[in-house]
């Protein structure tokens, strides 16, 4: 019960840095609607230490929100992430959250989510529907 309860109240506010990732760019070149691109892009990189401190486990799906917009991303531990905060590859996911005032560094809230990661098509549908 305790755990379940914690799941609902756990909301972390932190900073995200947008960065390049060679593996993700390689996947982008092969096709941005591919599974590989989603796997390498719909990712929130954090250090293991930051994860442990904030009870974010590797592989978990998190809802990352900024200014009323959210994407679901998978948590992946990476020792090149900022020590306090998170890192996202440059892609439609990061750009769904950002604006030019804080293009490559912005504050978000992170909470545990159910289900799967957001797909590029879901964001594109939002563009199409205006």
Give contact residues for other proteins (rule: CB under 8 A).
Answer: 17, 19-23, 25-26, 28-34, 69, 79-83, 87, 90-92, 95-100, 103-105, 120-121, 123-124, 126-128, 130
Nearer to other proteins, 6 or 33 (CB): 33
Nearer to other proteins, 76 or 82 (CB): 82
Full DSSP string of 17-34: EEE--HHHHHHHHH-TTS
Nearer to other proteins, 70 or 112 (CB): 70
CB of 63 to other proteins, least distance (A): 16
Distance CA 89, CA 95 (A): 10
DSSP class of residue 119? Answer: P
CB of 126 to other proteins, least distance (A): 7
Q: Are 108 and 16 in contact (CB under 8 A)?
A: yes
Nearer to other proteins, 17 or 76 (CB): 17
CB of 100 to other proteins, least distance (A): 6
Distance CA 53, CA 49 (A): 6
Close Cβ partners of 30 (under 8 Å, ≥ 6 residues apart): 36, 37
DSSP class of residue 86? Answer: E
CB of 59 to other proteins, least distance (A): 18
């Amino acid at each position: 019960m305790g755990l379940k309860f914690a799941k609902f109240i756990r909301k972390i506010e932190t900073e995200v840095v947008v960065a390049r990732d060679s593996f993700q760019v390689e996947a982008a070149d092969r096709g941005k609607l591919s599974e590989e691109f989603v796997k390498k892009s719909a990712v929130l990189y954090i250090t293991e230490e930051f994860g442990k401190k904030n009870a974010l486990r590797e592989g978990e799906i998190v809802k990352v929100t900024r200014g009323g917009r959210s994407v679901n991303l998978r948590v992946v531990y990476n020792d090149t992430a900022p020590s306090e905060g998170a890192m996202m590859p440059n892609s439609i996911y990061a750009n769904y959250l950002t604006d030019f005032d804080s293009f490559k560094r912005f504050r978000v809230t992170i909470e545990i989510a159910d289900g799967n990661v957001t797909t590029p098509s879901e964001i594109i549908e939002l563009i199409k529907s205006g």
